[in-house]
Chain A
Amino acid sequence: MTTRRDVLQTAGRVAALLVAAGVLPEAARAQAAAPWPAAAFETKSVADLMKALGSAAPVESKEITVQGPDIAENGAVVPLGAATTLTGVKRILLLVEKNPNILSAIFELGDAVEPSISTRVKMGQSSNVFAIAMTNDGRVLYAAKEVKVTLGGCGG
């Protein structure tokens, strides 16, 4: 019986081997240096997530916006993004409150990237979505909005 954690650890080892063998490109080497934070991706609440990441609790702020539709025609693909007017943002997190695991994605921003990111996530049901921004000077801020997921088509 292979557990998910085993698979992940194996993946990490494979990546390390590939890097050692010079098979992985340079960009992937940088990633391999920062391991995939399995514990953070298994949390069910904002509080547990912040604990897993060793971060302070986030404070709601108008300086950050979470971008998503009011209604999603299909939960399989829901556009989700974050943008902020803050400076010195090093990290942006995208969360879906009612998903089996709350964390969808972490973005580590270099100085050359604007703090504005869009991707698409899966949502099992209508839920609040969050964008959390972490700055170099230790601020942790968030914005939230509700996305309604509708049943569509003939439903069969």
Chain B
Amino acid sequence: MADPMRIRAQSSGSGATVRVLMAHEMETGLRKDAAGKTIPAWFIQQVSASLNGKPVLSAQWGPSVAKNPFLQFNIKGAKAGDKVAITWLDNKGDTRTDEATVS
């Protein structure tokens, strides 16, 4: 089971700035271990964000997104108390969803 994300959603101007940190190895599949064996690729492929249950953003990622990924975006019209949910899905089928309240 993957570790939880850290999501911060702060209202700013007419919307909210969302900053997300995800705990994930983001292994490229190009590296070798000490014994010279290729370490298999293991990375988040899909990310989606919703505001109060309505999808607002989706993303497709390759293995060159950095380990423990960071994502920042702005949602127009979001206000304090709104719920922002983030879901990721990796190439092994593991997934995780976390939620934060706009403050």
Which residues of A come within 8 Å of B, CB atoms? 2, 4, 7-8, 10-11, 14-15, 18, 24-28, 30-32, 34, 36-37, 41, 76-78, 81, 96, 99-101, 103-110, 112-114, 116-123
Contacts and interface: CB of A to CB of B under 8 A. Distances in A.
Contacts of B87: 25, 27-28, 31
Interface string B62-100: 101111011111111110000001110111110101000
B41 interface: yes
B66 A117 contact: no
A78 B66 contact: yes
Contacts of A78: 66
Contacts of B53: 26
Contacts of A37: 60
Contacts, number: 151
A75 to B, nearest CB: 10
Contact of B74 (A34, A113, A119): A113
B30 interface: yes
A106 B59 contact: yes
Contacts of B71: 117-119
A12 B93 CA distance: 7
Contacts of B65: 104-105, 119-122
B29 A116 contact: no
A103 B62 CA distance: 7
Nearest to B48: A27
List 10 A-B pairs, minimum CB-CB distance, nearest first: A14-B93, A120-B66, A31-B46, A27-B87, A118-B72, A114-B74, A41-B62, A110-B56, A27-B48, A106-B60
Contacts of B91: 7-8, 11, 36
Interface in B9-50: 15, 26, 28-30, 40-41, 45-50
